[in-house]
Structure 1
Amino acid sequence: MADVLVLHGSPGSGKSTLARALALALGAADMPWGVIDMDELSLVHPYPGRWFPRDNLRAIWPNYVAAVPDIRLIIPMVFNDEEEVELIRAALPGARLMICETSAPVEVLKKRVTDREPTDELAAALRTWVDVYHERSDHERIRHFRVITHPATVEESVREILELTGWLRA
């Protein structure tokens, strides 16, 4: 059975960074892996709607499973709400879905997005999304487990996620 780990969290919480680092760790252990970035599946103008990246995921998922039936797939994304969890689950038939919420203090998240974005406008928009994300009350109902990415290093966070998923157990 294919495992799917969704790295869900606020902008700046380390989802994409951890997805790449997890892929490297799985590769070093000779474990089959894939990464599908939902932000990348959303890149189109004009944006057709919230359904678009999920439909893209539904379309490509069978290719991943056909190529590597026991794949460990990593998907960095933000769930907008609990309903979206079920919609993602429906887009990934036959997968075991695990959701890891990545988190850090709000001031750290805002600094991370400010430092990485190419324009002040994009950074300001993401700082607002950090606030919106942290005002939500559904995080515990969405996640299976949570990893705090600050002050932890990327390597420490990867080890914690691999332990919580059981992916490197013999």
Structure 2
Amino acid sequence: MNDVDVLVLHGSPGAGKTTLARAVSEILREAGLAHGVIDMDEISIVHPDQGRSFARENLRAIWPRYAAVPGLRLLLPSVVADEEELALLRAALPGAHLAVCELTAPEAVLKERVTAREPNEFWREGLRRWVDVFHARNDLHRIRDFLVSTHERSEEDAAREVIDKAGWLAVRHQPRGSTT
């Protein structure tokens, strides 16, 4: 397996994790850089709900295929529940260089965003409650490596800041003994 730079786009519901992953992916595509996106919400859609470990175990199963891609940068949009979950996520990605970018916006904006996107009040209210839970946390500074605001700016501007802070457009040094 190759060393893979993995960036977790973490934040409250409505922070723009999936949206930013797409925007970052497009910038990386335009730059001709190998990259992938694994949306942790998407790989956990099953009814009845199988718990938080379901997505992580799915990630563990597909990780070797991604890790085999030379020079890959991998985006993981996800909410990291706590430090223990971050440690479990790291364990699911052997050989990864993992960093966490917390996406932020004002709480009222986050609630507006989740209300606008959900199909009915059951899902809207559930996500508004998750926004409250997220903002009541006192461990976020121990999980994130850096912050990026998604409020009052374009998706492209926020995506470029994510890429800049992750150092993903910087020239990579080739491993010793490499001829490419």
Unaligned runs of 5+ in 2: 172-180
For the Cα contact (< 8 Å) 2:9–2:101, is it kept in 1? yes
> What's the counterpart of residue 115 of structure 1?
116
For 2:70 and 2:32, the matched residues in 1 are separated by 15
Q: Which has the larger radius of gyration?
A: 2
For 2:86 and 2:67, the matched residues in 1 are separated by 20
> What's the counterpart of residue 52 of structure 1?
54
> What's the counterpart of residue 127 of structure 1?
128
Question: Alignment partner for residue 22 of structure 2, among 20, 23, 26?
Answer: 20
C-alpha deviations, 1:36-56, integer Å up to 9, x for none? 010011111122222111100
Moved more, 83-92 or 42-51: 42-51
TM alignment of 1:31-110, pairs within 5 A: 31-66=33-68, 68-110=69-111
Unaligned runs of 5+ in 1: none
**TM-score scaled to structure 1, two decimals?**
0.97
**TM-score scaled to structure 2, two decimals?**
0.92
TM alignment of 1:142-161, pairs within 5 A: 142-161=143-162
Q: Name the amino acid aligned to 1:138.
A: D
Q: Cα RMSD (Å) of the superposition?
A: 0.8
More helix by proportion, 1 or 2?
Answer: 1
Q: Secondary structure at the match of 1:121?
A: helix
